[in-house]
Amino acid sequence: MINLHRLILAQLCTLLTITISPAWAQDATALFSEYSNRIHQVRIIDRLSGKQAGLGSGFLINAEGLLVTNYHVVSEYTDHPERYDVEFVRLDGEKGPLSLVKVDVVNDLALLRLDQAPGYFIELATTLPAHGESIYSIGNPHDLGWTVVPGTYNGITAHSLYERIHFSGSVNPGMSGGPVLNQAGQVIGVNVATAGNQLSFLVPLNRLNEFIAQPSPEAIELESLDTAIATQLKANQAEVIGHLVNSAWETADFGDALVPGDMAPYLSCWGFSDDDPEIRYSHSATTCNSEEQIYLSHDFGTGNVAYQFNWLETNELNTMQFYNLYQEKISNAYPDNDAEKEDVTEFECHDDFIRSQSLSNKLVVTKAAYCVREYKRYRGLYDVLFLAASAHATKRALISHFTIAGVDQALAQKFLRKFIASVQWK
């Protein structure tokens, strides 16, 4: 008798599983077929050749024909509007022009408008999903056709500088700008980046809402686009760097000195020690990096912060050997962001020796260099780089370094002052 009950229960369970799985898969397909005409491919067309120069995805958000996509999908157009056109391609093949309304480079969003508003659109959700809930990313990966990528909502990334949703599903290039829908078919995010292997990042709903809520002109004036972007970048760095400058930095022991530890939760720090058995000195380092950049164009990124400390000491080398080694170690300071000749000036540097007192009142002399380069299209914003190398000890040395991309003069100077003051010999 008991065995029979067990048997029936097992049968029932199997039946249930069989019915649920295809339903889950059917959900995705059903979802897609319902919204397929509200999601478009966004293409950048090179005027001279008539061929596509870039593509991504986008989706309609209101009855007036407004379409959301990523800024990086249309950045070639915003950089050189005279060379490109933007157009949409619908699932049924219909094409049409798109005009730019506004952009948000910090959140990698752009708003465009269709000439003829089709009247339908996708609703935005009012709340974010629950942790673990199924969500669906939609787009056109590698220009291969429309795809629904199901995945799981895993919350806003912990320790993220620019808030992103952590999505375990594979968003592919070409899907950028496409919507991410909850089970009710409402937008909870926008595809923006992939870290490969079932790990992707999405712009969350609240950022999208803020973007859409900002006043939009009828059509953007391209001449004022640079000013608008500069304003966004300055506001963003005022917040990020301003927060860094005004917060208290924890200190850490490092060699014979005290140096800043973790300055902020969104900075990821790594330690390193040279364990080559043949070297006759010891070298250890800590590096901290914000790891996220704001995309401005294919070769130009901004918005990241990085700092590094290196400790060198020796018992086996003589002073001259140690300083020859030391010279090699200070010769490789670089900015962390990519930039080209059209984007930035060359670095201008100021070198000097700084004298100070250690915590035990001994003389400390440091060779310091501070270098600056300005953004050409966004005047008043700079990439800055600082490198300090202790010069008073014969067989021990501390190298301190920081670099910030996209910061204004006032905040950069404050950060420099604070950084120098926070490195102290014991």
Residues 27-66 that bind other proteins (CB under 8 A): none
Under the binding rule (CB under 8 A), the answer on residue 372 touching other proteins is: yes
Under the binding rule (CB under 8 A), the answer on residue 146 touching other proteins is: no
Under the binding rule (CB under 8 A), the answer on residue 425 touching other proteins is: no
- In sequence order, what are the residues at sequence separation of 6 or more whose Cβ sits closer than 8 angstroms to the Cβ of residue 304? 289, 290, 291, 292, 293, 336, 337, 404, 405
Under the binding rule (CB under 8 A), the answer on residue 416 touching other proteins is: yes
Under the binding rule (CB under 8 A), the answer on residue 406 touching other proteins is: no
Least spacing, CB of residue 271 vs other proteins, in Å? 22
Residue type, 23: A
Spatial CA neighbour of 128 closest among 183, 64, 52, 72: 183
For other proteins, the binding residue among 71, 136, 254, 326 (CB under 8 A) is 326
Torsion on CA atoms 163, 168, 173, 176, rounded to nearest 10: -40
- Give 79 or 104: the residue with its C-beta nearer to other proteins: 79
For other proteins, the binding residue among 100, 335, 404, 405 (CB under 8 A) is 335
- Give 90 or 418: the residue with its C-beta nearer to other proteins: 418
- Give 121 or 322: the residue with its C-beta nearer to other proteins: 322
Under the binding rule (CB under 8 A), the answer on residue 393 touching other proteins is: yes
What is the C-alpha to C-alpha distance for residues 253 and 53, in angstroms, rounded to an integer?
A: 51
Note whether 55 and 211 are within 8 A (CB): no
Residues 275-304 that bind other proteins (CB under 8 A): 276, 278-281
Under the binding rule (CB under 8 A), the answer on residue 359 touching other proteins is: no
Note whether 176 and 74 are within 8 A (CB): no
- In sequence order, what are the residues at sequence separation of 6 or more whose Cβ sits closer than 8 angstroms to the Cβ of residue 41? 55, 56, 57, 58, 88, 89, 90, 140, 143
210 phi and psi angles, rounded to 5 deg: -60, -40
Neighbours of 319 (CB within 10 A): 12
User: What mask of x and - would describe binding to other proteins in positions 224 to 263, judged by CB under 8 A?
Assistant: ----------------------------------------
Under the binding rule (CB under 8 A), the answer on residue 320 touching other proteins is: yes
**253's tokens:** 């022991």
For other proteins, the binding residue among 38, 40, 72, 373 (CB under 8 A) is 373
Question: What is the torsional sign of CA 230, 236, 239, 243?
Answer: negative
The stretch near other proteins (CB under 8 A) out of 1-9, 33-41, 62-70, 414-422 is: 414-422
Judged by the rule CB under 8 A, the positions of this chain that interact with other proteins are: 276, 278-281, 317, 319-327, 330-331, 333-335, 339-341, 344-356, 363, 365-374, 376, 382, 385, 387, 389, 391-394, 409, 413, 416-417, 420-421
